Amino acid sequence: MYDNNVKFSLWCDFIEREFLDNEFLELLNKEIINGATSNPAIFKSAFSSSQAYKESILKSDKRHPKSIYETLATQDIKMAACKMLKNYVNDDDGFVSIEVDPNLSDDTNATIEEGVRLHASIGMPNVMIKVPATKEGFTAMSALMAKGISVNATLIFSPEQAQNCLDAFEAGAEIYKRRFPNTPLPKGVISIFVSRFDRLLDEKMAQKSLPKGQIGIMNAAKIYHIIQDRNLPNVRALFASTGVKGGELRADYYVRELMYENSINTAPLDTIKEFIKEKATPKKAPSKESIESFFEVVNNADIDMNFAYKELLNDGLKAFVVAFENIMKTLK
């Protein structure tokens, strides 16, 4: 827990074997981070650039690339989960996420089956199964939570997606509660993507004499209010895509600007290193009224948020699929 006063958590958006044995432990022990996330792009980078995996790949008796991938990925996720078990037991987050095959984002049953299988193969209570927030994904999220599996809903861009995730989490938790009334509920996080809005729309914002680096923050704040108002005890907002590309914003901008009560920020390692150089102060989210006024101005400037929501979701899904396919090529 980075800041206990407001229940703001910082998670590391990076998984790699040598890192887990060294710097990751330091960050945990210094109570800088208390969680971790992964995705196909992160594993692609790790598997292709780190010597830690080459011997395991060569020795693997698995013949199918996906089997090799799952062996390597689940080993790393289990390693991270073991190192954070103390956090989890102390109710200080301690979760690590692993994503289902992104090619399954339009297949509910296959997503559920893979989520259950991955969770069982890792065998740790503090693992979250990451599921893209598609129509099929919402049903899968609910089913996984009903089985007692914690879920990270990913690729959240629109308020509508967040509402659907909340509905799915609530329905799944209710089923679980009826079956196991005296046990803690599985946890859910709703991963709101932030910086991609600014990379997509900042040029248009500037052309209309509107502030750059703001539309992602305001959209995230809008969704944060939706999650907070729903007040589900086992669900929190998680801000993702919080790395900065280019030199116009400070490297930890999206972490500092989104230090809201009862929220999580999962950030790349370099962003975390920049963030801890200087003390940061928690912030209150902008009011609903100011957010509404902001988006009225954006709409009047002919910036179509619904188009942005769809484009960013499609781009995000495609990027994860490409990264996953590249992993398969690497492991052949």
In this predicted model, what pLDDT tens digit does every residue of 106-154 receive, in sequence order?
999 999 999 999 999 999 999 999 999 999 999 999 999 999 999 999 9
| Residue 55, burial from CB neighbour count under 10 angstroms (0-12, 13-18, 19+) | exposed
Q: Where are the alpha helices (DSSP H) in 94-185?
A: 108-122, 135-146, 159-179
pTM exceeds 0.85 for this model: yes
pLDDT band at 62 (very low <50, low <70, confident <90, very high): low
Cβ atoms 78, 126 nearer than 8 A? no
H or E element, residue 227: helix 215-230
- 45-54, 257-266, 281-290: range with lowest mean pLDDT: 45-54
Mean pLDDT computed over 47-57: 82
Q: Is 3 inside a domain boundary?
A: no
Q: Is 241 inside a domain boundary?
A: yes
Mean pLDDT computed over 84-96: 97
CATH number reported for the structural domain that contains residue 239 in this entry: 3.20.20.70
- The first and second tokens of residue 178, run together, are 């009826």
Q: What are the C-alpha distances in Å from 167 to residues 141, 160, 172, 227, 235?
A: 10, 11, 9, 11, 11
Asked if the model's pLDDT at residue 1 lies above 90, the reply is: no
Asked if the model's pLDDT at residue 248 lies above 90, the reply is: no
Q: Is 29 inside a domain boundary?
A: yes
Q: Is 4 inside a domain boundary?
A: no
What residues are annotated to the active site?
Answer: 130
Percentage of residues of the chain with pLDDT beyond 90: 86
Q: Please report the pLDDT score of residue 2 as a whole number.
A: 64
Q: Distance between CA 198 and CA 205 in Å, rounded?
A: 9
Q: Is 98 inside a domain boundary?
A: yes
Q: Is 88 inside a domain boundary?
A: yes
Q: Please report the pLDDT score of residue 56 as a whole number.
A: 79
Q: Please report the pLDDT score of residue 175 as a whole number.
A: 98
Asked if the model's pLDDT at residue 51 lies above 90, the reply is: no
- Provide the domain limits for residue 26: 9-331
Q: How many domains does the chain have?
A: 1
Asked if the model's pLDDT at residue 231 lies above 90, the reply is: yes
Q: How many residues does the chain have?
A: 332
Mean pLDDT computed over 205-218: 97
